[in-house]
């Protein structure tokens, strides 16, 4: 048991670091610093994605045959740590991390051949179509209906909380194709072209002042049967597979450490009277506590990774623990950062995206975005299976 990198992994890290030094420019970094949302502003994200695509590094988690890197888990972990340390825009959302694994696992050759390359080069951007106004944590109660008519499904209903759907070209969606006694059985997984007639997108502004979420309405939208993934009625199994990716398929150690480092910088900046927040023992106690949480979570990620690398499974209790703790740690960091702004906490800049505003000093900009980042962080414990759902999963394992 050890925490040592191999010589090859050190070389790999240095290679990643060198690439980031050269290609991740200040404009991209600033835009990400000023991003109050979970995912990067699409314009910024696509720009960075294009640079990574030239290098073949868009999709660290994909197998090589589909244009991924084919990296080991350890290399993916190191890559993530380095990208977060450098402050890369978080562009890997529903396209790369959610629909792609589903297409690889359940899609046919035509679907793989058409959709996967378009994800890598940014031609397609995907939105998620899971939740509905009446179906959140109880996802299987969904009502959006798809009726087969010749070689098309006719879709009617509505999906909600679709992140960045207004910038997306396509949506993957769970729809009801049969009224079955067991509600999980009548669900089918389909791909919807968002330019189709009958699609209407309504923006939902979130509490951080940003338009990232949407409600999407389907009014007799035609979806070719060739855009169904898997068999009719197989949607629930596919959805579960996808949610596992959303829950456990990524590392958070890097981003949490990077956030903590940003907070450290903010707290180290002298105030107008010369004091530094970091010298306040009350601040430092809380800061240090959160840092111990980050270390503990990082160890759990590395331990889970070790298990997978050895052919095992991290298990549901550690996986749900990480989901819960990542959200809480992120929220704690944002909350602490927002608590040291003083009167600046009261100022509110409405313009989005913030990076379009003329530049000021890095610290001023950190102070400008901190409230919105804090507000946005409240979503962390809700999406991807709320913390209460995670507690249910843990309790079920504990008490069985």
21 touches other proteins by CB under 8 A: no
Cα-based distances in Å from 73 to 181, 323, 387: 41, 18, 26
Q: Of the two residues 77 and 126, which places its CB atom closer to other proteins in the complex?
A: 77
Binding mask 257-276 for other proteins (x = CB under 8 A): xx-xx--xx-----------
Instruction: Output Rg (C-alpha) for the chain, integer angstroms.
Output: 22
**Of residues 2, 54, 181, 350, which one binds other proteins by CB under 8 A?**
2
310 touches other proteins by CB under 8 A: yes
Q: Of the two residues 67 and 384, which places its CB atom closer to other proteins in the complex?
A: 384
As a whole number of angstroms, the distance between CA 283 and CA 292 comes to: 14
What the block records as the tokens of 251 is: 């590392």
**Of residues 223, 298, 381, 385, which one binds other proteins by CB under 8 A?**
298
Q: Of the two residues 171 and 300, which places its CB atom closer to other proteins in the complex?
A: 300
- What residues from 167 to 196 belong to the interface with other proteins (CB under 8 A)? none
Cα-based distances in Å from 341 to 165, 208, 256: 33, 16, 20
Helices 362-377 and 253-268: crossing angle, nearest 10°?
Answer: 130
**Of residues 69, 210, 297, 371, which one binds other proteins by CB under 8 A?**
297
Torsion angle of C-alpha atoms 386, 242, 85, 91, degrees rounded to 10: -100
The stretch near other proteins (CB under 8 A) out of 54-62, 169-177, 190-198, 301-309 is 301-309
According to DSSP, the residues that pair with 129 across neighbouring strands are 173
As a whole number of angstroms, the distance between CA 33 and CA 373 comes to: 10
- What residues from 95 to 154 belong to the interface with other proteins (CB under 8 A)? none
What the block records as the tokens of 102 is: 């589903």
382 touches other proteins by CB under 8 A: no
As a whole number of angstroms, the distance between CA 272 and CA 398 comes to: 52
**Of residues 147, 302, 345, 382, which one binds other proteins by CB under 8 A?**
302
Q: Which residues of 326-362 are buried (b: 16+ CB within 10 A; e: fewer)?
A: bbbbbbbbbebbbebbeeeeeeeeeebbbbeeeeeeb
Q: Of the two residues 183 and 328, which places its CB atom closer to other proteins in the complex?
A: 328
306 touches other proteins by CB under 8 A: yes
Q: Of the two residues 74 and 154, which places its CB atom closer to other proteins in the complex?
A: 74
295 touches other proteins by CB under 8 A: yes
Q: CB 62 → other proteins: shortest distance, Å?
A: 22
Does residue 386 sit in helix, strand or coil? coil
Q: CB 144 → other proteins: shortest distance, Å?
A: 29
Q: CB 161 → other proteins: shortest distance, Å?
A: 24
**Of residues 104, 317, 345, 382, which one binds other proteins by CB under 8 A?**
317
Does residue 3 sit in helix, strand or coil? coil
284 touches other proteins by CB under 8 A: yes
Closest among 284, 377, 367 to 328, alpha carbons compared = 377
333 touches other proteins by CB under 8 A: no
32 touches other proteins by CB under 8 A: no
Q: CB 51 → other proteins: shortest distance, Å?
A: 23
Q: Which long-range contacts (CB under 8 A, 24 or more apart) does 263-266 make?
A: 263/287, 263/333, 263/336, 263/337, 265/363, 265/366, 266/337, 266/340, 266/363, 266/366, 266/367, 266/370
What does the binding site for other proteins look like in residue numbers (CB under 8 A)?
1-7, 9-10, 74, 77-78, 81, 85, 253-254, 257-258, 260-261, 264-265, 278, 284-285, 287-289, 291-293, 295-300, 302-303, 305-307, 309-310, 312, 317-318, 320-321, 324-325, 388, 390-392, 394-395, 398-399
């Amino acid at each position: 048991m050890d925490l040592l990198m191999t010589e090859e992994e050190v070389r790999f890290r240095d290679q990643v670091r060198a690439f980031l030094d050269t290609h991740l420019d200040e404009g991209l970094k600033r835009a990400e610093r000023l991003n109050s949302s979970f995912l990067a502003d699409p314009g910024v994200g696509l720009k960075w994605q294009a640079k990574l695509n030239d290098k073949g590094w868009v999709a660290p988690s994909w197998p090589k045959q589909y244009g991924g890197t084919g990296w080991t888990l350890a290399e993916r972990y190191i890559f993530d740590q380095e990208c977060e340390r450098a402050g890369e825009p978080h562009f890997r959302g529903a396209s790369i991390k959610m629909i792609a694994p589903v297409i690889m696992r359940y899609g046919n050759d035509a679907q793989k051949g058409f959709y996967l390359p378009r994800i890598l080069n940014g031609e397609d951007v995907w939105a998620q179509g899971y939740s509905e106004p009446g179906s959140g944590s109880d996802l299987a109660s969904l009502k959006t209906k798809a009726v087969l008519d010749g070689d098309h499904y006719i879709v009617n209903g509505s999906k909600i909380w679709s992140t960045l759907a207004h910038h997306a070209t396509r949506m993957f969606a769970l729809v009801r194709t049969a009224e079955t006694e067991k509600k999980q059985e009548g669900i089918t997984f389909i791909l919807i072209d968002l330019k189709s007639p009958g699609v209407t997108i309504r923006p939902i502004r979130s509490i951080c002042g940003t338009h990232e979420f949407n409600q999407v309405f389907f009014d007799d939208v035609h979806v070719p049967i060739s855009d169904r993934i898997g068999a009719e009625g197989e949607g629930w199994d596919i959805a579960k597979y996808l949610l596992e990716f959303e829950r456990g398929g990524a590392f958070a150690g890097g981003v949490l450490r990077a956030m903590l480092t940003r907070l450290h910088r903010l707290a180290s900046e002298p105030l107008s009277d010369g004091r530094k927040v970091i010298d306040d023992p009350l601040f430092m106690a809380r800061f240090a506590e959160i840092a111990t949480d980050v270390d503990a979570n990082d160890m759990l990620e590395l331990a889970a990774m070790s298990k997978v690398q050895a052919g095992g499974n991290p298990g549901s209790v550690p996986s749900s623990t990480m989901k819960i703790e990542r959200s809480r740690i992120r929220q704690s960091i944002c909350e602490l950062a927002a608590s040291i702004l003083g009167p600046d906490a009261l100022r509110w800049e409405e313009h989005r995206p913030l990076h379009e505003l003329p530049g000021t000093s890095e610290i001023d900009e950190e102070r400008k975005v901190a409230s919105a980042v804090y507000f946005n962080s409240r979503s962390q414990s809700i999406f991807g299976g709320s913390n209460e759902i995670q507690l249910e999963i843990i309790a079920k394992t504990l008490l069985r």
